[in-house]
Structure 1
Amino acid sequence: MTMTGSTAPRAPRAGKAKTEKEILFDRELEDLPPDLRWREWMLRIEAVIFASAEPVTRETLSRIVGRDCSIDLLIDDLKEDLHGRPYEIVAVAGGWQHRTRPRYTDAIRASSTPTRGGGALLSEFEAMVLMAVGYFQPVTRGELSKIFGKEVSRDTIGALRNIGFIGSGPRSPTPGAPYTYVTTKQFLSAFGMETLRDLPDIEALEDAGLLSRKEMVDETLPAPADDGEG
């Protein structure tokens, strides 16, 4: 007997396939009691932040916890959990990252163990140039040379770019339209800052003689030729 109106089996719709994929990772954990569910979300967040080489964003963390879960409250509870430990979770560069507490800096230095922070890779002059870029960005190589009263070489700029602490900014409106340089998110992360507003007060640095805004516009210091190349 022939069945009328019968059709061949249909392929699953894209929407259904996506739902099945999501089920493979249970975000909601509805089978757990509320207290155990919250604890599991906390541990997931800590695991992801610990494993990541970069600050983990809110968007990333929202993929591993319930849709109505508060990321901020989970982070707060994690920070409380880590009280008394030599490391903590801090907000840096638009996300969160595990960091050793400052009181253990000397012990880490004494151990001579390699660390994830890139700041230790810089020479003293490279660190000073990086600091100037942080405060005066977007800034050209010629303007940096004015600040320090001597040429800031392409090698110095290249070293800071290779580490990932600075990148290219907009072309300067000055004659020749030279490149400008700006700091990156990796710079913020390496130095434990959430935004550039966390930079130390520039007036305090000027009082200490470390930076001078006046020298930046002082025409008595000739700027090296800047042909627009990095």
Structure 2
Amino acid sequence: MTERAGDLERAVEATLFAAEQPLTALEISAHLGGAAVDDTLVSLTQAYAERGINLVERGGRWHFQTAADLAHLLRREKEEPRRLSRAATEALAIVAYHEPVSRAEIEAIRGVQTAKGTLDVLLEAGWIRIAGRREVPGRPTIYATTPEFLTHFGLASRRDLPGIEELRAAGLLDPVEEAFAVLTGGEDGDTGLIDPSGGEDAD
């Protein structure tokens, strides 16, 4: 396999460039005959930090992405997509902060019933996943966020979500309200999140 650090960097670059989806360090290593790639990934991250594309880690998976300050150059004029309803945004925020969580638990935190379509939209978007069943009577399905959720919101891990102390310092005891600002950057009624189904939540 590769002998020089430069050779390994080039091999890691090529592997990530050709990959159809983000890869873990173990998957990259497997492509390269078991080579140790952790230090190389750190080195490449630093090397690409000021370039037009960056190497980033999201949820333990690595991929190249357009530098954030250049994203506007790649946008194309198109019809404004429909947005996620407030109910869907609330549900997504609750899953992010409390996962794994059941539909009943989401409803308890929101204080209102959650339409089945709300969770279906988030599942279809790939931002939440079914994470098993709660070992209680009825064995309800529980939900958790996905690596795609982290990638979409630019989070390396859920640890990057604001902590409870930060929320209290901001005067927000309920993390769901702060999550609207963190996850969407929008105001009430305009979440800024695209609804992949093209429809609104019928909550």
TM-score after normalising by structure 1: 0.61
1:145 counterpart SS class: helix
Letter in 1 for 2:176: L
Residue number in structure 2 paired with 1:84:
50
Higher relative contact order (CA 8 A, sep 6+): 2
1:39 maps to 2:6: yes
**1:41 to partner: Cα distance:** 2.3
1:2-61: per-residue Cα shift (whole Å, max 9, x none)?
A: xxxxxxxxxxxxxxxxxxxxxxxxxx146xxx4xxx333212211222333432112222
Residue number in structure 2 paired with 1:123:
84
Residue number in structure 1 paired with 2:160:
198
Which protein is bigger by CA-based radius of gyration?
A: 1
1:167 counterpart SS class: strand
Residue number in structure 2 paired with 1:52:
19
Paired with 1:134 and 1:165, the residues of 2 have a C-alpha distance of: 10
Letter in 1 for 2:57: A
Pick the aligned partner of 1:211 from 176, 182, 188: 176
Contact 1:133 1:183 in 2 (8 A): yes
Residue number in structure 1 paired with 2:139:
177
1:4-43 mapped onto 2 (5 Å cutoff): 28-29=1-2, 34=4, 38-43=5-10
1:112 maps to 2:76: yes
Percentage of pairs with the same residue: 27
Residue number in structure 1 paired with 2:41:
75
Residue number in structure 2 paired with 1:158:
120
Pick the aligned partner of 1:141 from 95, 103, 108: 103
Aligned length: 171
Contact 2:15 2:31 in 1 (8 A): no
Going from structure 1 to structure 2, the CA distance change for 1:168 and 1:76 (only over 3 Å counts) comes to: closer
Going from structure 1 to structure 2, the CA distance change for 1:122 and 1:177 (only over 3 Å counts) comes to: farther
Residue number in structure 1 paired with 2:66:
100
Name stretches of at least 5 consecutive residues in structure 1 with no aligned partner.
1-27, 115-119, 213-230
Contact 1:41 1:64 in 2 (8 A): no
Contact 1:54 1:189 in 2 (8 A): no
**1:160 to partner: Cα distance:** 0.9
